[in-house]
Structure 1
Amino acid sequence: MQVTETQNEGLKRGYEITMTAAELAAKVDEKLEAARPEVQMKGFRKGKVPMALLKKQFGQSVMGEAMQEGIDDALKAHFEETGDRPAAQPNVQMKGENWKEGDDVVVSVSYEALPEINEPSYGDLTVEKLVAEVEDDAVDEALANLAESTQNFEKRRKGSKAKDGDQVTIDFLGKVDGEAFEGGAAEDYPLVLGSNSFIPGFEDQLVGVKEGDEKDVEVTFPEEYQAAHLAGKAAVFTVNVKQVAEPKAAEINDELATKFGMDDLDALKGQLRERLAAEYAGASRTVTKRNLLDALDGAVSFELPPSMVEAEAGQIAHQLWHEENPDVQGHDHEKIEPTDEHNALAERRVKLGLLLAEVGQKNEVTVSDQEMQQAVFRQAQQYPGQEKAFFDFVQSNQQALQQIRAPLFEDKVVDYMLELVKVEEKTVSKEDLQKAIEDMDEE
């Protein structure tokens, strides 16, 4: 098999592989000989069919397979000899439109090789780690928010007008074209105004009502309403207001703690402190990882495969365009051309992605089956009632599995690197830690 180099510019490689007619014929004979013991043909014992007859009967059918295997073997030998690692699947094209049996097989192969990547001098890198302590006022604030979220409602003085956020207890009867409909009536229904739990426009018309009022509320069911026979239709609800109550935050005491499964208020405070500490640690980790990546970006430099940068820039531009145009759901829009900013971000992502992959591979960083199972389970919880369907989809979809595995692998490589660089802790307030997170989101 002859391999001739046709291109060697930067990371771009091009080769011409020639498989002679004799080599192809030998490969066909080899495959036919391997299959011969199992071939049975009329007039011959099993495994005793003459090669000439085998070739006449099956030669054409195995030729394509023999050709493919020959080229694959030549590529494999080429990569082993040169040490090249293609950044993506090599482009293989057969040359000669009028090829016929007896001709040499000539294919052109092109690919971009991954660059040589050396690990940085970790000891020369310093990474800042922001650490925030959980202060008592933060616990008190979390406790107040918890009490607010478990608010009770107290009856307003008779004659008071209902405000947004109040709870009105109502009887109602809904009619379409003068006829009551199933599900359109209720008694002693507690409705919080502004909760958007009723048809759009219903709650707004009850702002200002008083205890004892009767009011006709006119609404139109949405076009995509779940009950098809009501979709898009106008309705009138006769509403009787039986009580107006204002929201009152729950008192911060042992009783509040028991509502959340704690023995007393001190236990609830302890739980909130632990939760805040975990949130701060997560935010600190996020900022520290970003600081490490910034340090690595400045410490390493190598040539990047142009196609990888181009693809990443296109993906960034496309994603940001959709974020700026949320009304456009499909992808049948004009081509989005990446800007210099998109290209710069793409170069950073590709460089750091290749570096992390190389470091992980060299240092045998792996994601265990148990870690994968836990990650899949966490994601499945985002689809309540459809967990089994999610599991089945993931198990049968290698791309989905890779999307789950990739961030786990990246985080483990980051952990490995953080053990080697100099980490300087800096104590900050929770506000400063939050600002660091917000600054990252804006970049």
Structure 2
Amino acid sequence: MATAVETLDKLERRLTISLPLSDVQNEVEKRLKDRARTAKAPGFRPGKVPMKMVAAQYGYQIESDVLNDKIGRAFYEATNAANLKVAGFPRFEQKEGDVPEGQIAFNATFEVFPEVSLGELSSLELEKLTAEVSDVEIDKTIEILRKQRVHFHAKGESHEHGDGGADVSAQAGDRVTLDFEGKIDGEVFAGGAATDYAFVLGEGQMLEEFENAATGMKTGESKTFPLSFPEDYHGKDVAGKTAEFTITIKNVEWAHLPEINEDFAKSLGIPDGDLGKMRDDIRVNLEREVKARLRARNKDSVMDALIKIAEMDVPKALMEQEIGRMAEGARQDMAQRGMNVKDVNFPPELFAQQAERRVRLGLILSQLVKNADLQAKPEQVKAQVDDFSLSYEDPTEVVKYYYSDRRRLAEVEALVLEENVVNHVMSQAKITEKAIGFDELMGARA
């Protein structure tokens, strides 16, 4: 039996659940008898342990299980009858005093899902980003792919690709191998010395003063120079200090980039080495990446707009659950990086802001999907999986991968659902298209 639902706060509710003690005791006795059939104890054959010993060993746990089952069932029936959508898990506390004889009572405190007011989608003004892939982007990508396949030859030595030219000094783009030793106040500091250390000049792998000092030097030459570490340098022991470095050049190598020919195309997976097919393949891949990034940027724009116009109270229970999931995700990520997370406890406020955004968006999407029937349809899910598979050598295996695991397929369904929401919102809102540069969209790609 349950009392009428009491409102404690905007979303918080409470009701009292009463159970006849006789029902609890009868169920406990029944389960004890069932347990006694297989119970084991020293000196007794299985199933022959005296009931008193069975009750002493298992009685507390069985009674707890019975109460949890009966209270949980009664709570579900009461909230279902009251047409309440419970958010998170209820908190049960045994009620003391004012309980009828022969009864046991518990107060259930819980939250309900809020009413979500979305406002008028037609009032939204959204900017929809667009971008194109031109021959310029394909050329840039080919250059990046060439640099990824660069190989180096010692300057001044003849090779099938040449000798690198008459200038054998280290210049931007060359790879230098050197020994270095840095001292502060006459003492070598931790990490300040190395032998046969190789890096490419001009790529920012070393501090600018270090690269400037190495530039122009030749194999066998040495140089001593001062180097000032920035105040914000990652090595705190040397940040803001000036060291004296001595470097000795062991080798200077020039970079040879592969020619754009049949062999280069074959190295990119074009069996016959056709350069036209290579460019077409690069274009398809770039367009797929552009489409994905535009989708993500436009989705973020829609989600930001929905959060601004939606009004609701956020259930604390859902916030706590989301914070817990995020904290566990952070721990798993740290563990995968080889870090010890045994005693790691994150303060809840670390995730609070992002957790609230996620909870709000979840409630908003749920309301929109319900209002406009935006559920992911099977044919949409299949189309999305097929699209994923196109970038793999064996698309059929990718399709099997998703459809063989319900959780993987659920992830695709969630993506499709979000896309349905974005399309629906954009169909209602006032849209202004804005062309964005390829490099701006893709960020630093080199």
Bin for the TM-score computed over the shorter chain: 0.5 to 0.7
Closer, same or farther in 2 for the Cα pair 1:29/1:88, shift >3 Å? same
Deviations 1:312-355 (A, max 9, x none): 699999x9xxxxxxxxx9967988589xxx76x76543222123
Look up the match of 1:304: 314
Q: Are 1:194 and 1:204, in contact at CA under 8 Å, matched by a contact in 2?
A: no
Look up the match of 1:272: 282
Closer, same or farther in 2 for the Cα pair 1:416/1:15, shift >3 Å? same
Q: Which residues in structure 2 correspond to 1:275-354 (within 5 Å)?
A: 275-298=285-308, 300-309=310-319, 347-354=356-363
The one-letter code of the counterpart of 2:23 is E
Q: Are 2:171 and 2:216, in contact at CA under 8 Å, matched by a contact in 1?
A: yes
Q: Which residues in structure 2 correspond to 1:112-191 (within 5 Å)?
A: 112-117=111-116, 128-151=127-150, 153=152, 155=156, 156=164, 160-163=168-171, 165-168=173-176
Structure 2 alignment gaps of length 5 or more: 41-45, 157-163, 180-193, 225-245, 330-340, 392-400
How far apart in 2 are the matches of 1:87 and 1:248?
Answer: 63
Structure 1 alignment gaps of length 5 or more: 41-45, 173-183, 217-236, 320-328, 379-390, 392-400, 439-443
Deviations 1:105-158 (A, max 9, x none): 222211111124588877887765332222222223333333444445564556
The one-letter code of the counterpart of 1:351 is R
Asked whether 1:414 is paired with 2:445, we answer: no
How far apart in 2 are the matches of 1:268 and 1:149?
Answer: 16
Look up the match of 1:107: 106
Q: 1:13 deviation in Å?
A: 0.8
The one-letter code of the counterpart of 1:110 is T
Q: Are 1:314 and 1:336, in contact at CA under 8 Å, matched by a contact in 2?
A: no
Closer, same or farther in 2 for the Cα pair 1:311/1:204, shift >3 Å? farther
How far apart in 2 are the matches of 1:314 and 1:61?
Answer: 27
Q: Which piece of structure 1 moves more, 119-128 or 260-269?
A: 119-128
How far apart in 2 are the matches of 1:240 and 1:125?
Answer: 62
Q: What is the SS of the residue equivalent to 1:16?
A: strand
How far apart in 2 are the matches of 1:348 and 1:333?
Answer: 19
Look up the match of 2:65: 65
The one-letter code of the counterpart of 2:279 is K
How far apart in 2 are the matches of 1:185 and 1:33?
Answer: 77
Look up the match of 2:233: none
Q: Which piece of structure 1 moves more, 76-85 or 113-122?
A: 113-122
How far apart in 2 are the matches of 1:371 and 1:265?
Answer: 30
Look up the match of 2:265: 257
How far apart in 1 are the matches of 2:92 and 2:382?
Answer: 35
Give the share of equivalent positions with the same residue, in percent.
22
Tell me the TM-score normalized by structure 2.
0.57
Q: What is the SS of the residue equivalent to 2:63?
A: helix
Closer, same or farther in 2 for the Cα pair 1:135/1:194, shift >3 Å? closer
The one-letter code of the counterpart of 2:141 is A
Q: 1:77 deviation in Å?
A: 1.1
Look up the match of 2:23: 23
Q: Which piece of structure 1 moves more, 58-67 or 3-12?
A: 58-67
Closer, same or farther in 2 for the Cα pair 1:353/1:208, shift >3 Å? same
Q: Which piece of structure 1 moves more, 83-92 or 298-307?
A: 298-307
Look up the match of 2:184: none
| RMSD over equivalenced CA pairs, Å | 6.0
The one-letter code of the counterpart of 1:9 is D
Q: What is the SS of the residue equivalent to 2:130?
A: strand
Q: 1:194 deviation in Å?
A: 7.4
The one-letter code of the counterpart of 1:135 is S
Look up the match of 2:77: 77
How far apart in 2 are the matches of 1:370 and 1:268?
Answer: 26
Q: Which residues in structure 2 correspond to 1:381-396 (within 5 Å)?
A: none
How far apart in 2 are the matches of 1:214 and 1:313?
Answer: 56
Closer, same or farther in 2 for the Cα pair 1:129/1:202, shift >3 Å? closer
Tell me the TM-score normalized by structure 1.
0.57
Q: What is the SS of the residue equivalent to 1:415?
A: helix
The one-letter code of the counterpart of 1:210 is K
Q: 1:281 deviation in Å?
A: 0.8
Q: What is the SS of the residue equivalent to 2:3?
A: strand
How far apart in 1 are the matches of 2:172 and 2:102?
Answer: 84
Q: Are 1:3 and 1:16, in contact at CA under 8 Å, matched by a contact in 2?
A: yes
Q: What is the SS of the residue equivalent to 2:16?
A: strand
